[in-house]
Structure 1
Amino acid sequence: MFEALTPVSEMLARNLDTLSRQPLLVCGLLEDNLPGLLAEAGPAPRVFTTDFRYFQWQQGQGLADIEFGASPGARPAAGLLLLMPKAKAEAEYLLAACLPLLAVGAPVFIAGDNKGGVKAAPKLLAPYCGQVNKLDSARRASLYQAELTTLPSPFILADWVNRYAMEEEQLQICTLPGVFSAGHLDSGSRLLLNSITTLKGRVLDFGCGAGVIGASLLKRHPGLELECIDINALALEASRLTLAENRLEGRVYASDGLSQVNGKFDHIISNPPFHAGLKTFYHTTETLLSSAVDYLKPGGSLILVANAFLPYPELIEKSFGHCDTLAANGKFKIYRASR
């Protein structure tokens, strides 16, 4: 999955002399073994990722200095390389979280796909750096370089939490930059929630995002044993905050698909992702549809919302032998299958 170098890393490979002068803290949209390239050229980088799948893959590669979480540890860093994430707000968040670890005069680099927002690098760095230079541009990607001139305030995660109300459920949803459903309840999740009438037992919120579905289910069906999983550390942190804000209890943890899940559930409920970075990405959901039956108790059900054009009924039928459509509107459909 992460084996081939992205065009961004191919462009960065032309600049290893500059990038490997000091051990960089590398974060953002990590999609390949760029840290290995940097380690071969100079001092090994320190990697911070919010992506649990990438974290596990790099640990399997033997990369020792890698952190997974909502923010990096407090250890000082010699320089920063930010690989531009999909959401500009997430880039702002990562800069605020990482730059306090640097000293004034440290190098700061931002690289990314030209269609992925990297051209905003000078504006993103303006609060921290006096001058921003474009160092290279190739393979439809660009690299910007600057020097830290203004040390930012220490990072406080609570400063980045936004909230919105779900009035029907009387819930406050806590969100963080780049997390799905960050500013409002999306219409797919609303259709899903309105389609679920009775629920009991052990429930898994697969791809929990900001905790909207899990918190709503707990509010509507007290007594559920809820578990929330995601691969994104910011989503997991947002879900924890959402549950705490509403005095609800559930277990929230990182899982690559269902790999870190134990035991069987009465229900698996999901508004599954189909975007990863700038690409459409169905693998996670297809794996869920094919393997969910093994994680359900007899009589247990899988319920999910999906864009109407996606070919999920066929995949569900292949695994479960049937697929019911609970609800539909112009854009979304709610599917259910029972073991």
Structure 2
Amino acid sequence: MYILLPISQYLLRLFKNKFINHRVIFAGNIQDTMPIYLNTLISFINTHKYDYYIWLKKMINNNIYYGIMKGNKYKKYSFNVLIFFWLKNKKESIFILKNIISFLTFKSDIYIIGANNSGIKNIKNIKELKIIYFEKIINARKHIVFHATLKKEIFFNIKDYWKYYYYKNFKIYNLPGIFGNNKFDDGSKFLISTIINYLNIKGEILDLGCGSGIISTILSNNMKKNKKKFILYSTDIDIKAIISTKKTLNVNLLENNNVFPSDVYSKINKKFDFIISNPPIHNDLNYSLKFIYQMISKFKEKTKRNGKLLFVINNFISCSKIFKKFLIKFNILSKNKNFSVYSIKNK
């Protein structure tokens, strides 16, 4: 459930009828109901988060798009106002912002909204945005609002934003903002080494929160090399993760993989032999165990008999309350000074 945030309430009062004759596009880290209540000629919402997309689609249905905008079909809207919510990751903000700006008409108004602790204060010093002159116009509700008028055409090409690194013989591709986007993170590495060393992984497998696709890549390659029968499913809420995982798997010539967006289990309609995850513990700037609660609470519905949920978690997080709440028995497969790999079996 999304609510109207204090900064959005403030802006709605301030801009109540300002955009009544404008074609407005909302984008970035938007996570509330502001597009529903702002009076505009046209309101269009672009989001990279599948959870927000499926929720808002129930409320609005039309003029909402989940994904990276491309092609000419959005030019017809002739957007002349952008209301953009800054993300905690600067490179991700720039990536999404420039993608959307490339669809604006000349002399469009651009409003950038960000929390005080999001890094937005330095927007004037970001070299990628130097061609746009931003001016601070509001400081309220622990947020800052910058404004600019688009005076130069902005071009966007996704090829300019692809990054990759090598892990062993694998080439791992990623777009800005994806977890583990410049190296194989230690938690995922510990999870994979545990699984490969201790378990006979095969059958139908779900990589929950796939990120750049490195866990899916190593698992898929391991099963392929050992001639095991398998079908791998990889999911994430972030469209950039979905695109990155697809590219990583394709570049490494790995098959039998299905990659699609899902808010934890929201699009999962089958049961698995193994569910594997390095779960997120943050929601934007805030610490959150929501994903872990949802993952554990419904794992029996999504695993076959004797199927297993395997996940890695930092040792500073205690999962005992979660297991106790759902009356779940668990094993710790391996543990080092930073991480633990948990195993839960559907008996």
Q: Is the 8 A contact 2:28 2:96 kept in 1?
A: yes
- Are 1:295 and 2:293 counterparts? no
- CA distance in 2: counterparts of 1:73 and 1:95, whole angstroms: 16
Q: Give 1:183-194 correspondences, 5 Å limit.
A: 183-194=182-193
Partner of 2:217: 215
Q: Give 1:125-274 correspondences, 5 Å limit.
A: 126-129=129-132, 131-153=133-155, 155-167=156-168, 170-197=169-196, 198-222=200-224, 223-249=229-255, 250-274=257-281
Equivalent AA in structure 2 for residue 330 of structure 1: K
State the Cα deviation string for residues 265-318 of structure 1 (Å, max 9, x = none): 010000011111111121121011011111111121110001112232443465
Partner of 1:56: 54
| Cα drift, residue 216 of structure 1 | 0.9
Q: 1:172 to 1:126 in 2, by over 3 A?
A: closer
| Cα drift, residue 172 of structure 1 | 0.7
Which of 102, 105, 115 aligns to 1:103? It is 105
Partner of 2:341: 334
State the Cα deviation string for residues 118-147 of structure 1 (Å, max 9, x = none): 213323474332x32211111111111111
- CA distance in 2: counterparts of 1:45 and 1:139, whole angstroms: 24
Q: Give 1:16-55 correspondences, 5 Å limit.
A: 16=15, 17-38=17-38, 41-55=39-53
Compare 21-30 and 287-296 and name the one that shifted more: 21-30
- CA distance in 1: counterparts of 2:71 and 2:22, whole angstroms: 19
Q: Is the 8 A contact 2:274 2:303 kept in 1?
A: yes
CA RMSD across the alignment: 1.8
Show structure 2 runs of 5+ residues with no match.
Answer: none
State the Cα deviation string for residues 175-234 of structure 1 (Å, max 9, x = none): 111111111111000100010132110000001111111111011121421000111111
Q: 1:111 to 1:240 in 2, by over 3 A?
A: same
Show structure 1 runs of 5+ residues with no match.
Answer: none
The 3-state SS of whatever aligns with 2:264 is coil
| Cα drift, residue 251 of structure 1 | 0.4
- CA distance in 2: counterparts of 1:36 and 1:171, whole angstroms: 44
Which of 117, 120, 129 aligns to 1:118? It is 120
- CA distance in 2: counterparts of 1:246 and 1:316, whole angstroms: 37
Q: Is the 8 A contact 1:31 1:54 kept in 2?
A: yes
Partner of 2:64: 66
Compare 69-78 and 156-165 and name the one that shifted more: 69-78
TM score, norm. by length of structure 1 = 0.93
The 3-state SS of whatever aligns with 2:37 is helix
| Cα drift, residue 162 of structure 1 | 0.4
| Cα drift, residue 328 of structure 1 | 1.2
- CA distance in 2: counterparts of 1:61 and 1:311, whole angstroms: 36
- CA distance in 1: counterparts of 2:34 and 2:340, whole angstroms: 39
- CA distance in 1: counterparts of 2:5 and 2:152, whole angstroms: 32
TM score, norm. by length of structure 2 = 0.91
Q: Is the 8 A contact 1:11 1:137 kept in 2?
A: no
